Amino acid sequence: MAGGKTPVFLNKIAVQLREQNWFALAAELVIVVVGVFLGLQAANWNEERQEREDEEQILTRLQAETATLLEAVREERQVLQRKVDLFAQAQSIIFTSDEPRPLTPAECSAVAGSHIYRRESDQLPILEEMLSTGRFDRLTDEGIKQQLRNYILFRDRQRANHEERTNELFRLYSRHPEAIQIELVPRGTDTEIDWGFMRNKDSRWMPQCNVEQMRSNRQFLNELFDNMGRNGHVLLTYEQREAILLELQQRLDELLRS
């Protein structure tokens, strides 16, 4: 109790003890105990209210960040899908004995850049905050907590896979210059692709593919097959990540509507 009130209470107790006023003494004690209980209960209620408000803020942020990440994953998947489709077109020319035709600029560019593996977008900042500050258990829904644990396991596994994929790169235009040459060609229109990051006003860098040289070089074919397979694996990862995030988003929508 506050400093000024404690002596008054003790004086009352002392008087009641001297006067043997047991009823008044019991009443005073009951009032004190009930007051302490109600004070503690109010503190607990306030703490629980703050925790529930914090949980709702976490769920709201998690819903927004999941939607943003899902959009990024879908955009990246579409870009990779176009690249994989170009591989499918090119491999029907490179890996067969049919009458060869030149690769289109887009097909040649895809083959020349087949060693490029972008690490997938995977960040949910609020999830990192919860893990670092111990607020993960603020979430009371066991279903959403298990979905987040599953996502963490998937994310960490795919990060490790990315490190493994990029540990040994088959940069085909450097390893097989007879099959792929990087040349400076005249610029036609502003919509034409600049290969790499080297941009010139009147010309542009572009790979030039020699299909016959590709077909006759078994090492080149094996390395191209390896590069294409890794890209295919990344595409599968995008599909899995999108499915996980979509399920997470649906559960978050349900929780915030309830």
Quick one: which of 214, 185, 235 has its CA closest to 84?
A: 235
Per residue in 124-156, pLDDT (tens digit) is 999 999 999 989 998 999 999 999 999 999 999
Of 68-82, 97-111, 192-206, the one with minimum mean pLDDT is 192-206
2 pLDDT above the threshold of 80: no
Per residue in 216-235, pLDDT (tens digit) is 999 999 999 999 999 999 99
Q: Tell me the domain boundaries of the chain.
A: 68-257
Cα(36)–Cα(48) distance, integer angstroms: 18
Cα(215)–Cα(98) distance, integer angstroms: 11
Q: Which residues pair with 208 in a beta bridge?
A: 181
Long-range contacts made by residues 186-194, C-beta under 8 angstroms, separation at least 24? Answer: 193/105, 193/106, 193/109
| Cβ-contact 202, 186 below 8 angstroms | yes
- Exposed/middle/buried for 92, CB within 10 Å: 0-12, 13-18, 19+? exposed
Mean pLDDT, the chain, integer: 86
For residue 154, the SS3 value is helix
- Residue in the structure block whose two tokens are 């019991």: 26
DSSP string, 189-248: -TTSPPPTT-B-SSEEEEEEE-HHHHHH-HHHHHHHHHHHHHHHHHHHHHHHHHHHHHHH
- Residue in the structure block whose two tokens are 């792929």: 180
DSSP assignment letter at 192: S
Cα(111)–Cα(168) distance, integer angstroms: 17
Percent of the chain with pLDDT over 90: 60
Pairing of strands 180-186, 203-209: antiparallel
Long-range contacts made by residues 22-29, C-beta under 8 angstroms, separation at least 24? Answer: none
Cα(3)–Cα(50) distance, integer angstroms: 29
> Given pLDDT bands bounded at 50, 70 and 90, which one contains residue 1?
very low
Cα(208)–Cα(195) distance, integer angstroms: 11
Cα(90)–Cα(113) distance, integer angstroms: 13
Cα(23)–Cα(20) distance, integer angstroms: 9
What is the average per-residue pLDDT within 37-64?
81
> Given pLDDT bands bounded at 50, 70 and 90, which one contains residue 63?
very high
